[in-house]
């Protein structure tokens, strides 16, 4: 088992693994996306208060979940980088930043669109919204810091420390609606003892959440391929691959 996992620490092995698995990931992603969109737009009933405007939840909520999920993946990679200095952990950390920033931006934009008819304003300094905005600044800060330092060995260490410091914001985002009196609605999906969402609405939402995870994995692997080629550009296996393709 350890040998199997150790193989993924090898850039050439992981690069070839990415090429093999990507087509299957695309099939799964599009299958989930089509099923989720059909459920979200067709089978899910209109909300008794918000009507059809609630359907933005099928983009907003998965994007918000993923904004936190991706950051926790980065934090896990940061721990591995600082303790074991694994090259693939460095690559996965940097490859996640842009995707996480996109998810966070989508969550903020869709939240504003949804909030306008509900709250009467595009933006309020609500605890959930403000902490989510801080998360976006963290993503941008990580990317800017990495690009600002020429020595990438130093850059990845600095980035890893920044990512771990920023982890404190994740529980603030998650529990903000419980810790403070905010305009943002409280948890609905996680209340399994007393469900606050109809099952016909819940299933498409969960399917869309899984689809978003596969979207993240696909983009992560594409970014990782590019990072591997950049970091391994002077190695023989990359030079041989370039010769074969030319």
Q: Is the model's pLDDT at 98 over the cut of 60?
A: yes
Q: What is the pLDDT of residue 133?
A: 98
Kindly state whether residue 114 falls inside one of the protein's structural domains: yes
Of all residues in the chain, the percent with pLDDT exceeding 70 is 90
Residue identified by tokens 């002077």 is: 234
Per-residue tokens: 129: 């919204």
C-alpha 29/C-alpha 127 separation (Å) is 33
CB distance 82 to 157 below 8 Å: yes
Within-domain flag for 6: no
pLDDT of 4 higher than 70: no
Q: Is 145 part of any domain?
A: yes
Whether the Cβ atoms of residue 165 and residue 22 lie closer than 8 Å to each other: no
CA distance 211 to 216: 9
Residue 1 located in a structural domain? no
Two tokens, residue 71:
């950051």
Range of the domain at 26: 20-207+214-245
Q: For 151, phi and psi rounded to 5 degrees? A: -75, 105
Q: Does 137 reside within a domain?
A: yes
pLDDT bin (cut points 50, 70, 90) of residue 188 is low
Position 192 confidence tier, pLDDT thresholds 50, 70, 90? very low
Tokens of 182: 């905010």
Token pair 């370039």 in the structure block, residue: 242
% of the chain residues with pLDDT over 90? 73
What's residue 239's pLDDT? 87
- Do the domain assignments include residue 219? yes
**Domains of the chain: total:** 1
- Mean pLDDT estimate for the chain: 91
Specify whether the backbone of 156 is left (phi greater than 0), alpha (psi in -120 to 50) or beta: alpha
Per-residue pLDDT averaged across 191-199, rounded?
A: 65
What integer is the mean pLDDT of 212-217?
98
Does 5 reside within a domain?
no
The tokens describing 42, both together, are 């067709």
Write down the pTM of the prediction. Answer: 0.92
93 part of a folded domain: yes
**Environment class of 128 (CB within 10 Å of its CB; exposed 0-12, middle 13-18, buried 19+):** buried
d(CA 48, CA 102): 31
């Amino acid at each position: 088992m350890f040998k199997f996992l150790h193989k993924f620490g090898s850039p050439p092995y992981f690069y070839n693994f990415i090429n093999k698995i990507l087509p299957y990931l695309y099939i799964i992603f599009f299958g989930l996306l089509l099923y989720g969109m059909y459920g979200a737009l067709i089978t899910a009933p209109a909300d008794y208060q918000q009507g059809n405007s609630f359907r933005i939840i099928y983009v907003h909520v998965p994007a918000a979940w993923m904004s936190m999920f991706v950051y926790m993946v980065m934090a896990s990679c940061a721990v591995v980088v600082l303790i074991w200095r694994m090259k693939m952990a460095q690559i996965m950390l940097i490859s996640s930043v842009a995707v996480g920033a996109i998810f966070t931006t989508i969550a903020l934009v869709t939240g504003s669109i949804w909030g306008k008819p509900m709250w009467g304003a595009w933006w309020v300094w609500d605890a959930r919204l403000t902490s989510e905005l801080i998360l976006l600044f963290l993503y941008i800060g990580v990317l800017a810091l990495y690009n600002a330092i020429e020595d990438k060995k130093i850059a990845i260490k600095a980035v890893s420390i920044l990512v771990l410091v920023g982890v404190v914001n994740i529980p603030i985002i998650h529990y903000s609606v419980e810790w403070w009196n905010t305009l943002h609605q409280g948890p609905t999906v996680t209340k399994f003892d007393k469900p606050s969402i109809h099952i016909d609405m819940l299933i498409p939402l969960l399917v869309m959440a899984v689809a978003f995870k596969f979207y993240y994995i696909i983009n992560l692997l594409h970014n990782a391929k590019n990072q591997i080629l950049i970091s391994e550009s002077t190695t023989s296996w990359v030079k041989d691959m370039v010769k074969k393709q030319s």
